[in-house]
Structures are given as C-alpha cells and as structure tokens.
Amino acid sequence: MTTYMVEVQLPYSPSQEFFQLIPAQRMKIAELMSQRKLLSYTLSADRMKLWIVVTAKDIVEAKEILSQQPMDKFFTYTSFRELMFHEMAGLTFPAVSLN
C-alpha cells in the first residue's frame, strides 16, 4: 500500500447544503478511518483547508476512496503527494500503579 498526503481547498462561502452534509461527512470519515483507508484528517483553523492522509494501492484508488465522502463535490483537491512515511503519536494510557 502507498500513503498519500492530500491537500483540499474548501469553499470560501459554503452553501447551506454543505453545512447539512457535516454529520454524514463525519460518519463517513470515522468509517474510513476505522477501515485504515484514512490515517488522518485535519482541518485548518480558518476552515479553508483540509489535509487527509490516505492509504491505497495507487493514486486512482486513493481518489476513489476520497470520492466516497458526502462533501466530495465541494472539495478542490490541490495536491496528492506520495509519502515516504507518516508518523503519528499513538494513544497512550497512564502507567498502572499497583499500590
């Protein structure tokens, strides 16, 4: 599998339809992340850009995965970059004390 960093430009003035799709979008992203098709999904503070890390066999499959998003028609994909690696901090739990 290959890992891609995808940069997405969001609409400057989103329509009401865009906002109505947010719950469905969040559910689909959670599903794709649980399937390990998406490794991360990051929104800029100004809500104008997304960065998505996708795993796929090739760029065609990566685009097919991204097209499953309910908000896909509002997204402008500005770049697809093949990554050498993608490191993330894992979920950590505090050490258990046996006292």
CATH code of the domain containing 78: 3.30.70.1060
Please, is 53 exposed, middle or buried when counting C-beta atoms within 10 Å of its C-beta (0-12, 13-18, 19+)?
middle
Which residue range forms the structural domain that includes residue 43? 2-82
Question: What are the residues whose beta carbons fall under 8 Å from the beta carbon of 74, sequence distance 6 or more?
Answer: 10, 11, 14, 15, 18, 21
Structural domain contains residue 93:
no
User: Which pLDDT belongs to residue 92?
Assistant: 60
Query: In total, how many domains does the chain have?
Result: 1
Tell me the pLDDT tens digit for each residue of 58-86: 999 999 999 999 999 999 999 999 988 77
Q: How confident is the model at residue 87 (pLDDT cuts 50, 70, 90)?
A: confident
> What is the model's pTM?
0.84
